[in-house]
Structure formats: structure tokens, C-alpha cells
Amino acid sequence: MTKGKVDALLGIVFGDEGKGKVVDFFTPRYDVVARFAGGPNAGHTIIFDGKKFVLRSIPSGIFDEGKINIIGNGCVIAPDLFMVEARELEQAGYSLTERLHISRRAHLILPTHRVLDRAYEAAKGKNKVGTTGKGIGPTYSDKAARVGLRVGDILNGFEAKYQALKARHEQILRDLGFTDYDIAEEERQWMEGIEYMRRFPLTDTEVIINRALEEGKSVLAEGAQGSLLDIDHGTYPFVSSSSTTSGGVCTGLGVAPNRFDRIFGIFKAYSTRVGSGPFPVELFDETGDTIRRIGNEFGAVTGRNRRCGWLDLVALKYAIMINGVTDLVMMKGDVLDDFDTIKVCTAYTKDGETVTDMPYDTEGWQPVYEELPGWKTPLSALRDEKDFPQAFKDYIAYVEQATGTPVSIVSVSPDREATIIR
């Protein structure tokens, strides 16, 4: 962390790497914490003092009362879900209104965006993306089509703009023959959410962030989703609709590339993916089930089973390259405590061809593994690197050597305390 600079903490695989936990742990070192992409498709889990919170739109820096938190222009926001999330924090004793700033340029997710999400998925037949159903794709589509509704519109001719966009959506739904939906109650709560949002600073967050940087303050950009779900660099079309990589920090917050200092790339000691799409390292056997059970790999947003597999170095190296990762953060090593051997995917192979760079189309590739000895020691109570079993140290060193990137932070249990800086 350097004064006047931006650090980013980015999921570099398929999301759910543990971003919430590490952002919460990092927050005391920063002045500002900002989300730059995504919306309530995210579910960021934070656990401390025996309490658990799952944040969707609100940055994970919110538990440190002295810090400014920002929902940046690159985000999309659902007023009804935001209200539920914010009220839960208020009920837990956290005051938000003074220190949670929302960009006027962020786009609003309408109830009809969520219906469109369902309709588009239904129309895709067996090629469904497996979205979270939160209206993410349709909202970013409207943004790109230059017809979206923005947070700033709440303060300026809102009702007419809302009705116009809703009518547009209803027409598309009629055209698709998707008419069996009722959003009356949802719309009522959504409008309540709009009223609720008025108490927050709906503002020019890019100015707040850049002023803070000018004053020598430090900013942490909190990623959502993961690099392989990025609209450009992910496994398209099985991706989310935002820029989840470091380039997205610039556009999603309005900060220039020369403001960056550290880029933390967070990953798990193994791989997971929720939703559809290619996943070469996926395990369909008992090992996959064991990782899912011990790792509690069930989605924080939708409760779906997360698909599980071994660590994928092809994917990791690609994400490190795209993001300019300076430091790796390795999570959930404790989940692999009981395995005799641990596999790592070092290449993909298909029809006699072997690649170590991420292919254009990851469909149909088989993983090539190397095997490393397991550590067969419980990690979760350890708080000092020198107490790590040698085989775990070797596993970390193997990843560092293979990626050419230091693993600067290691997490061995969900709790805030179990975060070890190397």
C-alpha cells in the first residue's frame, strides 16, 4: 500500500476466491475501498468475531467505521436488494449513510431486467450461461446500447425514464413470447429501494477517488467475479457482462493506469466454477465431491453446487498476465489437508496437441497434471508461516515458481484472523 496510489484485489479465476475476506482484512491499511464492477451477482463472505455477513453490492471495507466506501460507475445496482443489504448492516450497528458513496453513473437494474435475464436464459436452451438471475447481462446490455437508467436519474425526471425503459423491456418480452411473469410486488419493493437510496450520497465518485489520491490517500479496488468471467478475457460466452480485470478498475472507477501500485490476484489452492461453461480441470469423481464438501463449495448468492477441480496453472498464468498481478493471494489451502497427493494442471491437451497458453476456446481440452505430495496436517489453526508443514511450503513455492509471481498472503480458514502475510 502506497499513499496516493490504487491497489486492486482481483479474483483471477471464476469468482468466489475469498475476495470479501481479504478486502475486509486489508481495509485498515487503506483510506477508501471501492467496488468497480458487477452488482448483486457477487456474494462476498466476511466472518469475524463469530459473525458472518454476505455482501453483494456494498464494498467489504464497510466494517471499518472510519473508511469511505464507494460503489463505482462500473457497477450495476438493484435498489431493492441494496436496501435489504444495507438495512441488515444498519441493524447490526453499522452506520452507512455518511460513508457509502454511490456513483451517479452506475446503472440501475430494473425488475424487468431480471425478467429479461430469465427470458434470455430460457431462449438459450441447452447453452444456458447459468446466470445468477440478477439481471446483470440485460443491464449492461442497456448500458452499451445507450438506453440504460442510471443512479443519477433518480434525481432527475426519474418516473418518465423508468416507465420508458420498462415499456421497452415489456415489448422485448412480448416479442420473445415470455409473458408469464408478475413483478407487481417486486416493483413496489424496488420503488421503496429507490426512495431509500436517496439518503446516500449519489455522487461523482470518480472525483472523490481522485481527490483522495491527490491528498495522498490510498485506495483499494475490490474486484467482483473473476478474470475468467470477464466479458473480454473470460470463457465467452460463459461469462458475466462486466470488465472484472484490472482494466475494469480504470473504467469502473475513473482512475488512470499510472495510479496503480499493487495488483493482488486472489485464487484458491484448487479450482471452482459456478454456472455453465468450459472447465477443463473439473472433477466428476469422489475427489470433486470431497473438495466441495470440505470447502463448503455452495454458492453464496444462489446456493448452487460449485463445480470443483484441481488448481489450473494455465488459467492462473493467463489471468496474471492480463491483470498485471504483482502479488498472489492463496486461499483455502486447509481444504486440501487430507489428500495424500495433490494435482496441479500445467497444460491442456486435445487431439494430440498440448498447450500451456490459454486457448481461444477452452471447450474439450483435457488437463495435463503434475502430482505433488499432500501435507496431511491441519492448517486452519496456524497463524505463522514458519509453522506450515514442509509439503505446504513446497506447494506454495511450486506455484510461485510456475507463475513467476510471489504468493504474498495465505489464508487457512474463513476467519479474518486466519490470514498470513509472508
Which residue in the shown chain puts its C-beta closest to ligand GDP?
45
Contact region for ligand IMO (CB under 6 A) — 25-33, 41-49, 326-334, 338-346?
A: 41-49
Residue 411 in the binding site for ligand IMO (CB under 6 A): no
Residues 237-276 as x/- pattern, contact with ligand IMO by CB under 6 A = ---xx--------------------------------xx-
Selected binder of ligand IMO within 11, 111, 252, 333 (CB under 6 A): 11
Question: Per-residue b/e over 118-155, b at no fewer than 16 CB within 10 Å?
Answer: bbbbeeeeeeebebbebbbbbbbebbeeeebbbbbbbe
Give the Å distances, CA to CA, from 192 to 81, 184, 248, 327.
Answer: 11, 13, 31, 42
Contact region for ligand IMO (CB under 6 A) — 34-42, 179-187, 201-209, 337-345?
A: 34-42
Find the shortest distance in angstroms from Cβ 131 to ligand IMO. Answer: 4
Question: And the C-alpha cell for 73?
Answer: 460507475
Contact region for ligand IMO (CB under 6 A) — 62-70, 77-85, 123-131, 147-155?
A: 123-131
Residue 307 in the binding site for ligand GDP (CB under 6 A): no
Q: Is the peptide bond before 237 cis (omega within 30 degrees of 0)?
A: yes
344 DSSP β-pair partners: 311, 370
Selected binder of Mg ion within 18, 39, 43, 254 (CB under 5 A): 43
Say whether 64 is catalytic.
no
Which residue in the shown chain puts its C-beta closest to ligand IMO?
275
Question: And the C-alpha cell for 223?
Answer: 474486484
SS3 84: helix
Find the shortest distance in angstroms from Cβ 20 to ligand GDP. Answer: 3
Inter-axis angle of helices 313-323 and 390-403, nearest 10: 50
Q: Tell me which DSSP letter residue 157 carries.
A: S
User: Which residues 6+ apart lie within 8 Å of 283 measured at CB?
Assistant: 291, 308, 309, 310
The DSSP result for 335-394, as a single string, is GGTT-SEEEEEEEEEETTEEESSPPS--TT-EEEEEEEE---S--TT--SGGGS-HHHHH
Backbone angles phi, psi at 114, to 5 degrees: -70, -35
Residue 81 in the binding site for ligand IMO (CB under 6 A): no
Residues 31-70 as x/- pattern, contact with ligand GDP by CB under 6 A = -----------xxxx-x-----------------------
Residue 213 in the binding site for ligand IMO (CB under 6 A): no
Find the shortest distance in angstroms from Cβ 231 to ligand IMO. Answer: 10
Contact region for ligand IMO (CB under 6 A) — 124-132, 286-294, 310-318, 413-421?
A: 124-132
Find the shortest distance in angstroms from Cβ 267 to ligand GDP. Answer: 10
Residue given cell 425514464 in the structure block = 161
Say whether 16 is catalytic.
yes
Query: Cβ distance 304 to 314 under 8 Å?
Result: no
Residues of this chain that bind Mg ion (CB under 5 A): 16, 43, 300
Residues of this chain that bind ligand GDP (CB under 6 A): 11, 15-21, 42-45, 47, 296, 300, 331-332, 334-335, 411-414
- Looking at the annotation, which residues are catalytic? 16, 44
